[in-house]
Amino acid sequence: MHKRDLELLIRIKEALGGVGSIYNHGSKDCSYMVHSLLDLTNSIIPHFDKYPLLTKKREDYEFFKQVVQMMNNKEHLTEEGFKKILSIKASMRNGLTNALVETFPNIIPVANPVVESPSLQSINPN
């Protein structure tokens, strides 16, 4: 984000329990990132389960959540688990990088999750 929006990133971080870090990128940009598997599991995922995304990003979130669960179960440490994660990544909006496609040419994307949009009445304005 542009540095003029730094206060917004600070408020987002506070709303998510203070997890993660805010980074400055040059003179104009900044970002908020959460790297800890524990913080992803205990803060980020519960937040987005409570306040679901409403667009195509919701499908990517469901994939992301599945990968976090796999990592919590240590499945990513096996060849089979790693390839399953690559299949999930291949199904996401940005897909696999060219380097990953070249290195793992036989990865088949998984089916997109069925995501129902919540009714307008059930959407929390917060």
Looking at residue 53, its pLDDT comes to 87
Coil, helix or strand at residue 105: coil
Q: Which CATH number fits the domain that encloses residue 92? A: 3.10.28.10
- Determine the distance from the C-alpha atom of residue 120 to the mean position of all C-alpha atoms in its chain, rounded to a whole number: 24
Does 41 map to a domain? no
Residue 101 lies in a domain: yes
Tell whether 13 is covered by a domain: no
Structural domain includes residue 66: yes
Q: Indicate whether 84 belongs to any domain.
A: yes
Name the 3-class secondary structure at 29. Answer: strand
Q: Are 17 and 45 within 8 A, CB to CB? A: no
Q: How far apart are CA 9 and CA 107, in angstroms?
A: 36
* CA count, 13 A, side-chain hemisphere, 41: 10
Asked, for residue 19, whether it belongs to a domain, the answer is no
Does residue 110 lie within any of the structural domains? yes
Question: Is residue 104 situated within a structural domain?
Answer: yes
**How many domains, in total, are found in the chain?**
1
Q: How confident is the model over 35-47, as pLDDT tens digits?
A: 999 999 999 999 9
Structure tokens at 112: 């997109």
Beta strands in 16-116 (DSSP E): 21-25, 29-33
Strands 21-25, 29-33: parallel, antiparallel or unpaired by DSSP? antiparallel
- The mean pLDDT of the chain is 91
Q: Which domain holds residue 108?
A: 52-116
For the segment 50-96, what is each residue's pLDDT rounded down to a tens digit?
998 887 789 999 999 999 999 999 999 999 999 999 999 999 988 99
